[in-house]
Structure 1
């Protein structure tokens, strides 16, 4: 059984030139994620804050946007892996309206899951634009399948930080239509990449010369007639 992550998908798709570029380098994003994770786990964060003083302001903004997120009794699972099979028969996706079966069978994402009255909600905090990305859609799709809940019962809350502008809190609702579209997009994207890989491999397989292509039967060779070579 094959596993496909968001990093794998990111290498597979061709990012649209119209998509907003990242607001900060990836290493800053990773350090901020580690900082918030350690705060929520009650671990020391002084070394990170000393290296990146600007993070203090972003943490303050996160606490302003969602104070309950940092409460000790909050049922929040931080940066957990969830996964589900990519199956064309799920949620009414049939043979007629889907792509052929992809070579990867399992999609895995890492996300933050909070339980609100027993119902899971996804939380994302990052230095990012307050818009729904393809990565967000894949996380919502995986979460609905993983927790086995109807798409309309799932929500994604994004705490979008910015280097120079005020932070924003945005809530995105999910539904069956978006769920189905995302699954079909995954099927199509993975199958297209598989086909392109096959084409590239075939392009490197140049025809062999006739004398090389002729099979050699070792049983027909008289080894006594082969001249010795000095080494």
Structure 2
């Protein structure tokens, strides 16, 4: 988990900016898509999908958008077939980058992603070049404000439900699980009234690279450009940027 908390600070800031930029629906749609694709389109039997739909409704996403995303995930839209892809590469300063994508045209997607990397000081690599630097984990983030439990009680609930680790950050608690135990931990805590700021199975870097100056600026630009690409479902990277450096960049 080294460095993950600092990276969460960057993601937390970016999350607020993303909402302002009108990208919130895109992110919510991706979570609905992934949940439906992984566990089916019935929220009564797919807990992850049910939570994703609830989050979308809280953000006032229209019901038609939600259903269209589920239909897309299940292949119910005629003439459109999506292929799951994983790309790996390097960013400025030797940062390891992994991407999860859904594409209806592999060649087009590869060319566009390669261009994004090269334009911002990175390069797209071969399969396996950086994946060994990441570990697949479930991550559940709970805001301290409004949490119905004390830190100790929440930690006990999480560990009893099968969580692997629990940490306390400045504004939130972070619970980690194995990918296999993620759904049962999420469901157990949600059943106790716990609300999640984020709940996902993700790739966590095993070590990190601290960036400064131009490398830090270019890496954030690369991250944002990749995240904004329509085919990209998730971006993972192993860099750290200090709060002071972020202030200078912003």
Question: Fold conserved (TM > 0.5)?
Answer: no
TM-score by length of 1: 0.31
Q: In proportion to residue count, which structure has more helix?
A: 2
Whichever of the two has the greater Rg, that structure is 1
